[in-house]
Amino acid sequence: MIRRLLRLFPPGTLPVGTGLALVGLASYVHLALAGHHLDAAGYSSLSVLWSVAFTLGIGVFFPVEQEVARLVAARRVSGHPPGPVLARGAAVTAALLGLLLLLVTSTAGILADRLFDGDRTMVAALAGALAAMAVAHTTRGVLSGLRRFRCYGTQLGLDGGLRMTLVAALAAAGVDSPVAYALVLAIAPLVAVALTAAPVVRATGTGPAAPWAPLLRGLALLIASSLLAQVVVNVGVINARLLEPSDVATAGALLSALVLARIPLFVFGSMQAALLPGLSAAAAVGDETAFGHLLRRSLAVVTALGTVGGVLAVLLGPWLVTVLFDAPDVLGHGDFAWLSLATLAYLWAMVLGQALLARDRHHVQAVAWTVGIAALSAATLAPLPVTLRVELAYTVGSLVAAAVMVAPLARRRRTGPAGPAATRVPATTTGGP
Q: Nearest-5° angle of CA 256, CA 260, CA 261?
A: 115
Question: 205 versus 106: which is more confidently predicted?
Answer: 106
| High-pLDDT (> 70) share of the chain, % | 84
**145 — alpha (psi -120 to 50), left (phi > 0) or beta?**
alpha
Query: How would residue 110 be classed by pLDDT, with cut points 50, 70 and 90?
Result: very high
Query: How would residue 209 be classed by pLDDT, with cut points 50, 70 and 90?
Result: low
Backbone angles phi, psi at 290, to 5 degrees: -65, -40
pLDDT digit string, tens, across residues 58-80: 999 988 888 887 777 766 666 67
Question: What's the Cα-to-Cα distance from 307 to each of 42, 220, 261, 314, 432, rounded to whole Å?
Answer: 33, 33, 11, 11, 27
Res 425: pLDDT: 32
Res 322: pLDDT: 87
Query: How would residue 205 be classed by pLDDT, with cut points 50, 70 and 90?
Result: low
Res 226: pLDDT: 87
pLDDT digit string, tens, across residues 137-174: 988 888 877 778 888 889 999 999 999 999 999 999 99
Give the residue from 169, 197, 358 showing the smallest Cα distance to 279.
358
Q: Tell me, yes or no, whether 315 lies in a domain.
A: yes
pLDDT digit string, tens, across residues 113-143: 988 988 999 999 999 999 999 999 988 888 8
Domain count, the chain: 1
Res 415: pLDDT: 53
Instruction: Give DSSP secondary structure letters for 54-71.
Output: HHHHHHHHHHHHHHHHHH
Please give the average per-residue pLDDT across 102-112, as a whole number.
Answer: 93
Question: 289 versus 277: which is more confidently predicted?
Answer: 289
Please state, rounded to an integer, the average pLDDT across all residues of the chain: 83
Res 273: pLDDT: 60
Please give the average per-residue pLDDT across 282-306, as a whole number.
Answer: 86
- Report the 10 Å Cβ neighbour count for 202: 10
Q: Tell me, yes or no, whether 433 lies in a domain.
A: no
Please give the average per-residue pLDDT across 329-353, as a whole number.
Answer: 92
Res 394: pLDDT: 94
Please give the average per-residue pLDDT across 315-339, as a whole number.
Answer: 88
Q: Is the pTM of this model over 0.85?
A: no
Res 181: pLDDT: 96
Res 289: pLDDT: 84
| High-pLDDT (> 90) share of the chain, % | 39
Res 423: pLDDT: 33
Helix-helix angle 13-37:248-261, to 10 degrees = 160
Q: Which of 184-193, 286-295, 380-389, 414-423 has the highest mean pLDDT?
A: 184-193
What residue numbers bound the domain in which 405 lies?
2-428
Q: Tell me, yes or no, whether 392 lies in a domain.
A: yes
CA distance 180 to 171: 10
Res 108: pLDDT: 93
Lowest mean pLDDT among 216-220, 226-230, 385-389: 216-220
pLDDT digit string, tens, across residues 407-425: 888 776 555 544 433 333 3
pLDDT digit string, tens, across residues 33-57: 998 899 888 998 999 999 899 999 9
Give the residue from 74, 44, 209 showing the smallest Cα distance to 142.
74
Q: Please check the confidence at residue 350 and state whether its pLDDT lies above 60.
A: yes
Query: How would residue 368 be classed by pLDDT, with cut points 50, 70 and 90?
Result: very high
